[in-house]
Amino acid sequence: MTGEQTNRAAPDNRLAAATSDYLRLHADNPVDWREWGEAAFAEARERGVPVFASVGYATCHWCHAMARESFADAEIGELLRGGFVAVKVDREERADVDAALMSAASAFTRSLGWPLSVFLTPDGLPFYAGTYFPPVGRQGMPGFRDVLTAIGKAWREQPDAVAGTAGQVQAALRSATTGSGGDAPDAAAIRAALASVAAQEDAEHGGFGEGQKFPQAPLILALATTDGDGVDGGGEGSRASPRALAGRLLDAAAGDDAAVDAGDYSRLRGRDGGFFRYATQRDWSVPHFERMLIDNAQLLHAATLLGRERVAAGLVGFLDEVLRLPGGVFAAAEDAESLVDGRRVEGGWHLPEHAGAQRERPPLDRLVVTSANGLAIEALAVRALRDGDARALRLATDAAEHLLAQHADDPAALVHASLEGVPSAAAATAADAGCLASGLLALTAATGEARWAIAARAILEAAPDPQRTSSQGPALQLGPASDGDAPSGQAALAGALQQLYALTGDATHLERANRLLDASLALRNPFAGAATLRVAALLAEPPRTVVIVGEPPPGLERELRREPGALLATPAQAAALAEAGFALLEGKGAPGAYRCEGFVCELPQRF
């Protein structure tokens, strides 16, 4: 670890042609930005300097702030060029790197988020981390110039201490990943874990916490499915039941319909139906105006299950009118900032005080991420099945067509993300395979078309199991698998395999799902494992399904569509699915409703 300061006066920024809107935003910084990969770490080894990795995404307000204040600063650019190899990472494009660096950062700070700032050895071992750094210190935050100077000095003068810290972080991560494991939890243990979060509910304002309020989309969705899939209009069951809690959480985030229509942003739902990322105050006021596909897709799924018709319809409209890109797929997010009279203002498009100004819609992060689009396809297909929403079905179908043609043409070479039709070099993740397959299986349930289920099966059979280290660069140790704001790779893949098992009866899919899913962390901390608990609940009991063949009487159709595991098919479609190996449909060619539990079916309800 010599790390002599070198004179690198001319920036050698290589981000202009990146397949990421976020990376392109930094193409003009006076920083020698590199993309994550072995070449960057090889350069660090050759120069004997540490790597500085900055992780963010294109619609992140504080990422923009750090870019304007710190990364555009000439003095900071010179410090980074001379003493570090600087690497920019788009968390949407490189979810594996983000997860690994976030795990490592937890050893240094409890205030995790983006931008994420991590310093690593040339061998990829993190030894210091933080989040947003202003250029000079303020309000207790260290200045980025001071941080860079101190890190550079420690690297040169205290190499043993730096190596020791890096080793301790890796040892802690290895220890954390060797969880208790054990047998899969039963349904009662899962329900108890989810119900336990009610003790932390804010009784006055709803939601969780005394500061920032997040909608907790994965948790709402897990709670909404815990008591079964019947519609909950708000009064079903006791206040302590998981579904009742799910309804309260969604209602707290969504706010009052009249207030939303009037443009009162006292909650997270905008007038166009989309939900903002979080609220900055305990009473849900002052939203952080960025809007993410993963949040809105999962909230649509939950709103549909909970019978929140106005919320669900608004979310379908938001996906269609705001996030939908040419080709039918969805952008990763809408920016928190927009131009108002030529300057970037957070919430400028939405806030009524800017109504008379010259303003532009917030830009989109146009990255098309397979896993996020899979979540949207599933939510839209569930909406189409349960509520007969033709618009949702069209959106789900268009997005699925695009992804199968552009991202999954070869199931064994799944594409993680693309920008303007150009695939990213980032490797596909288990979450990509699992979320896309779940979306396609939901489309089969909504339409009866075998092609979607056939494609899902091919993707799942080709998908490798989740890896505990990141790829394409140094091997980074990951911490315990957690779900965060979207399903982890293990949860997504296991959930899709459970759905495939319910259609095929092939026990190898069930065995693989059970092998993948370790719910030990999720049972201890449901907030970090809500999606895992949702899947574990499905694995704990035999699958329940109702195959609806033909056209039920109008009064019965709505009821049947909302039963657990509903699947619509014509007699011809049922025969095609059975012929394709989906055993659930065998012998179900005559019109009627076939209710089954664990592949044991009642006599059909004829119509």
| Residue 183: pLDDT band with limits 50, 70, 90 | low
| pLDDT at 32 > cutoff 50 | yes
- Gap between the Cα atoms of 175 and 227, Å rounded: 35
Counting residues of the chain whose pLDDT is more than 90, the rounded percentage is 76
| Residue 9: pLDDT band with limits 50, 70, 90 | low
Topology of the domain covering 187-332+367-541: Glycosyltransferase (1.50.10)
Same fold, 21-177 and 187-332+367-541: no
pLDDT digits (tens, 9 = 90+) for 354-396: 888 999 999 999 999 999 999 999 999 999 999 999 999 999 9
CB atoms within 10 A of CB 600: 8
Torsion, Cα 306 309 310 315, to 10 degrees, reads 80
Q: Where are the alpha helices (DSSP H) in 505-540?
A: 507-516, 520-524, 530-540
| Residue 112: pLDDT band with limits 50, 70, 90 | confident
CB atoms within 10 A of CB 328: 17
pLDDT digits (tens, 9 = 90+) for 438-479: 999 999 999 999 999 999 999 999 998 886 666 667 877 666
CA-to-CA separations, 430 to 127, 433, 437, 497, 600, in angstroms, rounded = 28, 5, 11, 12, 31
pLDDT at position 356, please?
A: 86
pLDDT at position 544, please?
A: 94
| Chain-centroid distance, C-alpha 331 | 13
pLDDT at position 176, please?
A: 63
| pLDDT at 503 > cutoff 50 | yes
Residues 21-177, CATH architecture: 3-Layer(aba) Sandwich (3.40)
- The domain ranges of the chain are 21-177, 187-332+367-541, 548-601
In degrees, rounded to 5, the angle at the alpha carbon of residue 373 between the alpha carbons of residues 419 and 468 is 90
| pLDDT at 210 > cutoff 80 | yes
CB atoms within 10 A of CB 136: 14
- Gap between the Cα atoms of 387 and 270, Å rounded: 23
Backbone angles phi, psi at 396, to 5 degrees: -65, -45
Section 531-544 average pLDDT: 95
| Residue 230: pLDDT band with limits 50, 70, 90 | very low
Least confident of 121-130, 136-145, 311-320: 136-145
Section 169-175 average pLDDT: 74
| Residue 38: pLDDT band with limits 50, 70, 90 | very high
Q: What is the CA radius of gyration of the chain?
A: 25
pLDDT digits (tens, 9 = 90+) for 215-226: 999 999 999 998
3-state secondary structure of 23: helix
Residue 395 tokens read as: 């959106």
pLDDT at position 178, please?
A: 54
pLDDT digits (tens, 9 = 90+) for 345-364: 999 999 888 888 999 999 99
CB atoms within 10 A of CB 175: 11
Out of 47-56, 171-180, 519-528, give the one with best mean pLDDT. Answer: 47-56
Counting residues of the chain whose pLDDT is more than 70, the rounded percentage is 93
CB atoms within 10 A of CB 270: 21
Least confident of 122-126, 237-241, 304-308, 571-575: 237-241
Which of the two residues, 567 and 111, has the higher pLDDT score? 567
Q: How confident is the prediction for the chain on average, in pLDDT?
A: 91
| Residue 529: pLDDT band with limits 50, 70, 90 | very high
| pLDDT at 235 > cutoff 60 | no
pLDDT at position 172, please?
A: 75
| Residue 575: pLDDT band with limits 50, 70, 90 | very high
Torsion, Cα 509 511 515 517, to 10 degrees, reads 60
Helix H or strand E encompassing 568 = strand 566-569
- Gap between the Cα atoms of 205 and 196, Å rounded: 19
pLDDT digits (tens, 9 = 90+) for 278-298: 999 999 988 999 999 999 999
